[in-house]
Structure 1
Amino acid sequence: MKIVEIGLKEEPYEVKVSCTVLKTSSLWRHGGLSLTAYTGYSHAGMLGISFFATAFLAHTLARRARASEALANQRGVDVQFLAQLNAQIVQGIHSGIVVIDIVGRIRLFNEAAQRLLGLNEQPNGRPLISITPELTEHLFNWQKSGQTTSPLFRPTNGEVDIIATFRELKRGKGVNVLIMLEDATLTAQRAAQLKLASLGRLTASIAHEIRNPLGAISHASQLLAELPQISQDNVRLTRIIVKHCERVNTIIENVLQLSRREPANTQYFDLLTWLQSYVNEFTIHQHLNTSDIVLYTHHSTLMVYFDPEQLYQVLNNLCENGLRYSQGSPLLELTIDISTDTGRPYLDVCDKGEGMTEDVKNQIFEPFFTTQSKGTGLGLYLAKEICEANQAALHLYSNSNTGCCFRILFFSVQSGG
């Protein structure tokens, strides 16, 4: 009996265990959660997570790309603005700017350089030597000697003396050259203005002290000449004293005029009409024949900017100087026209004299320089100063053994001066 009980106890145990295994196995098979299905769901979950991560990463990269594109566009606008600003600054400065590349071709050329070199058009892209051989020669000299500043020179088509300064512009492995052109007359003008301003202040402060004794000397000389017992030789000496007193007084007046000169009252008027009236008046005043002064022009009207009163003073000085030296016929030739190089109106005053030496030519516009014992040396200097105050230019256009020709180059709206 005991053996049977033990067998019976073990049998249910075995059956129980068996049933438990069967139930578990049945749960995996019949509950839809087989090991293969569970692995498939795991793969799907991982794939979904990877898709989500990829989408998130793509969205982040796209957002950064859009921000970079917006920044690049803004920087492009800024660069374009700076380029336009630099171009306006370069074109607006008074110094001439020329940039050439390593083979000598022009890459940048502003309006001031065009005016100083006397060119009608922008020569960008052309060789420098074909535009201005004089400047090219100074460029070669700089490359050989290393001297950054050139001596004074005047281009073939230019109307003023200029000074060139050279600088290297490194661009990668290549080297460009920056050339700055300065109007030499402006430097000389500033120095002369400082000199005369100081002299004007000095003269203004002592004019009263000078004129008082000067007037006493002149008056005493005149009284001395009226004495009945004075000899003719002494009368001649007193006349010399009076003449030189008047000359000193004229110098004082001219210097005072420089120091207190009023601004130009610039007007826009017809030069031909004004000049015809001036020639008639000047001919009568100088007791000349109508054939002694000839006026040439191809224009029925020629409008210019200038102060008419100051132009009268300038032209008076030029015409009186011309009459002093002219020996041919006609004595003076006045020509008005438009410059083919700059498009600016001009007036030429030419005489029939013997010309001037190179030494005199280089000093004619210097204050107090004169070749005449009666002159003050301020006439041409004053004339040049007046022209510059009216945005015009006065220079010696030609000089030969058949005469001299001075040219007034007027400001022009069409050419921009």
Structure 2
Amino acid sequence: MWRGFMTARVMIALVLALVLGVLHTLAPALGVSRWLVALCAAYLAAALAVRLYLRPRSPGRDFDPQWVSTIGVDLIAFAVLQFLQAAGINFSPLFALPVLTASAMGSALLALGTAAGVTLLLLADAWVLALHGGGEAGPFLQAALTGAGYFALAFLVNQMAARLAREESAARVERQAARMQAQVNALVIEALSEGVLVVDGAGRVNTANPAARQLLGMGQFQGNFSLTGRPSWKPLFALSMQSFTHGTPQSAELALEEPRVGTRRVQARTRLTAQGQPGSHSLCVIFLQDLREMEARLRTEKLAAMGRMSAAVAHEIRNPLAAIAQANALMDEDLKDPALRQLSGLVRKNAQRLAQIVDEILDLSRARPGSGGGAVLALDAAVGAACADWSAQTRNSARVHVEAGAPALWVRFDGDHLRRVLVNLLDNAARYAGQAPDSIRVVTRAAEGGAALQVWSDGAPLEPSVEQHLFEPFFTSESRSSGLGLFICRELCERHGAQIAYQRCLGGAAGLLREGNQFSLKLAVAQAPQAGTAGFDKIAA
């Protein structure tokens, strides 16, 4: 706006200089003097200087020093031309420029002050004319009406400019808020675990968050795409077309066939955006949810509820079970009949089994993440001691081979917890491994980013249904097992920042490699404690 007014001043000054210059040259009888042409040229130079070198001020201010270089110069130049009445031309309409400039760019006080100054100049010009014309009232009336018009013009333009400035400021704030809201929405959509697709009427995907791209097998592809681009996406395209056709939300379970990944079962829900202006088209928003993840969450919630219930039941069973075991032991002392002693032994064996199951369940409910504290241990020494004790107790020394390949590695793990993990894994291995020597191998070695502990056995491969639920609680293929062993191993590993995994791979002695089942632990490496510290003394003990 400021540049527009300054450019208008330059154009008016140029026109004045050209008109008066032409009249001075071609019509000397009109009385256009040379110095009036020089005045117009000076006014043009001043207007150009302001336009090129001054910077605009914020609207609504009093212009400060710019008042003199803009409005003040205009009033002086136009007043001189009006008083001299060069070539009989009325220059009073030119006063509209400084009034408009002050009204649009300045404050209300500056606008009304400029209108008042123009009115005084016009009245002064009317007074001069009245002195030379016999004191007629016509020039005064014309000057007063023109001044009143300039006052009205100044007031209206200033109000409109103020309103425009308020609306612009409000629009700027709203635009900033909308931009911030759009960024928040984008962050929320990007972080959603649920897939989101925005589809137009032609099946073109305008927006897709990372979860949706992952479900559709798009990987890191970031461009727009069409649901008709792959045969596996046709169910989604058909669902979106149904939404557009019926104008109502749709919901369905779809099977997306991917050549590499296989079949993905997803829950798809559609919503239509509100139609905007006439002629615009609504969009279809498709929400995708992986049914496998939904089933996994439901299964986790069920297992958590089952675990809480089992812990409560186990706690109530523990005391009666101890009483049964104690009573059976007292009764066994007085029994002489071999048949009755055999029944008593059967009671004792099953009571011990129940006690072990109760202890496992209560241990899960009592243990908390980080229960190992900052304990560290020498991996090879701890594994060797645990394997030696287990071999001696179960009489499996011939079948177990320990290969210690990390003599200098210390890991962050509680000693009792690591022993329990190893015992569970070795018990499973002994249950399914063969009787030949070297049928069970325990290997330690350094791994990328940590240390590795592997327990391998030459047992038969697991069934796919068993492997899928291998680390879930209360899942077992054995009738006399609680199904908590591998689940406890995973829980203990997670508490110490370790990972456990299963794979079917080759193993055994060199030259006699054969397939077997391997459980691998990736442990966090720690610095060896200094001799004499509390941690070292605890580990040594």
Fold shared, TM-score > 0.5 on shorter chain: yes
TM-score under structure 1 length normalisation: 0.63
User: What does residue 79 of structure 1 align with?
Assistant: 178
- Asked if residue 59 in structure 1 is aligned to residue 158 in structure 2, the reply is yes
The alignment status of 1:168 with 2:270, answered yes or no, reads: yes
Q: Which residue identity does 1:179 align to in structure 2?
A: L
Could you say which residue in structure 1 is the equivalent of 2:383? 279
Aligned counterpart in structure 2 of residue 403 of structure 1, from 486, 504, 516: 516
Q: Is the 8 A contact 2:267 2:288 kept in 1?
A: yes
For 1:277 and 1:133, locate their aligned partners in 2 and report how far apart those are by CA, in whole Å: 57
Taking the aligned partners of 2:347 and 2:187, their CA distance within structure 1 comes to 61
> Higher RCO, 1 or 2 (CA under 8 Å, sep at least 6)?
1
CA distance in 2, matches of 1:142, 1:222: 76
2:362 matches 1:256: yes
From the superposition, tell whether residues 205 and 78 of structure 1 become closer, same or farther in structure 2 (CA, over 3 Å).
same
- Equivalent position to 1:99, from 192, 196, 203: 196
Report if aligned partners of 2:272, 2:282 keep a CA contact under 8 Å in 1. yes
Instruction: Give the residue type in structure 2 aligned to 1:314.
Output: V
Structure 1 equivalent of residue 420 of structure 2:
313
* Pair 1:108-2:205 in alignment: no
> Identity of aligned pairs, percent?
22
* C-alpha contact (below 8 Å) 1:222/1:242 kept by paired residues: no
Deviations 1:100-121 (A, max 9, x none): 34335763226xx89x98x9x8
| CA distance in 1: counterparts of 2:259 and 2:398, whole angstroms | 40
Deviations 1:137-185 (A, max 9, x none): 985797799654579x99989xxxx985433253552323233454654
Identify which of 315, 322, 337 aligns with 1:211: 322
Letter in 2 for 1:281: A
Residue 172 of structure 2 aligns with an amino acid whose one-letter code is: N
For the structure 1 residues 247 and 42, does the alpha-carbon distance in structure 2 shift closer, same or farther, using more than 3 Å as the test?
same
Letter in 1 for 2:298: T
Change in 2 beyond 3 A, CA 1:138/1:31: closer
Query: Is residue 2:458 matched to residue 1:352?
Result: yes
- Cα distance change of structure 1 residues 137 and 369 upon mapping to structure 2, 3 Å threshold: farther
Tell me what 1:46 maps to.
145
Q: Which residue of 1 aligns with 2:484?
A: 378
Cα pair distance change 1:29/1:122, threshold 3 Å: closer
Structure 1 range deviating more: 399-408 or 49-58:
399-408
2:312 and 2:235 map into 1 onto residues whose CA distance is: 41
Q: Name the SS of the counterpart of 2:315 in structure 1.
A: helix
Q: Structure 2 CA distance, aligned partners of 1:122 and 1:373?
A: 47
Q: Which amino acid aligns with 1:282?
A: A
2:286 pairs with 1:177: yes
What CA distance in whole angstroms lies between the structure 2 residues aligned with 1:386 and 1:405? 18
Per the alignment, do residues 184 and 291 of structure 1 end up closer, same or farther by CA in structure 2, a change over 3 Å counting?
A: same
Look up the SS of the partner of 1:264 in the other structure: coil
| 1:294–1:330 CA contact under 8 A, matched in 2 | no
* RMSD between aligned residues: 5.2
Letter in 2 for 1:193: A
- In structure 1, how many angstroms separate the alpha carbons of the residues matched to 2:251 and 2:454? 38
Q: Which residue of 2 aligns with 1:324?
A: 431
SS at match of 2:270: strand
Give the conservation status (yes or no) of the 8 Å contact 2:240–2:286.
Answer: no
- Counterparts of 2:172 and 2:373 in 1: how far apart (Å)? 50
CA apart distance, 1:361: 3.4
> Contact (CA 8 Å) 1:106, 1:124: kept in 2 or not?
no
- Opposite residue 268 of structure 2, the aligned amino acid is F
Displacement of 1:354: 0.7
User: 2: CA distance between counterparts of 1:133 and 1:319?
Assistant: 48
Q: Contact (CA 8 Å) 1:317, 1:383: kept in 2 or not?
A: yes
Contact 2:360 2:484 in 1 (8 A): yes
Alignment partners' CA distance in 2, 1:184 and 1:325: 31
Contact 2:413/2:496 (<8 A) preserved: yes
Counterpart contact for 1:296–1:333, Cα < 8 Å? no
Q: 1:187 to 1:277 in 2, by over 3 A?
A: farther
Partner of 1:25: none
Deviation at 1:247, TM superposition (A): 0.6
CA distance in 1, matches of 2:458, 2:351: 33
Cα shift at 1:53: 2.4
| Alignment deviations for residues 50-75 of structure 1 (CA, whole Å, 9 cap, x no partner) | 33322222222222222222222222
Distance 1:292 1:205, change over 3 A: same
CA distance in 1 between partners of 2:326 and 2:313 (Å): 19
* Count of aligned pairs: 356
Aligned residue in 2 for 1:6? none
**Secondary structure class of the residue paired with 1:292:** strand
- Structure 2 alignment gaps of length 5 or more: 1-129, 243-249, 274-280, 392-396, 507-513, 526-541
Q: Deviations over 1:390-415 (max 9, x none)?
A: 67665545599943344557899xxx
Quick check: 1:292–1:332 contact (8 Å CA) kept in 2? yes
The one-letter amino acid paired with 2:517 is C
Superposed counterparts of 1:231-242, under 5 Å: 231=338, 236-242=342-348
CA contact (8 A) 1:165 1:179 kept: yes
Counterpart in 1 of 2:300?
189
> Which TM-score applies when normalising by structure 2?
0.51
Contact between 1:331 and 1:351, CA under 8 Å: does it hold in 2?
Answer: yes
Deviation for aligned residue 1:318: 2.6
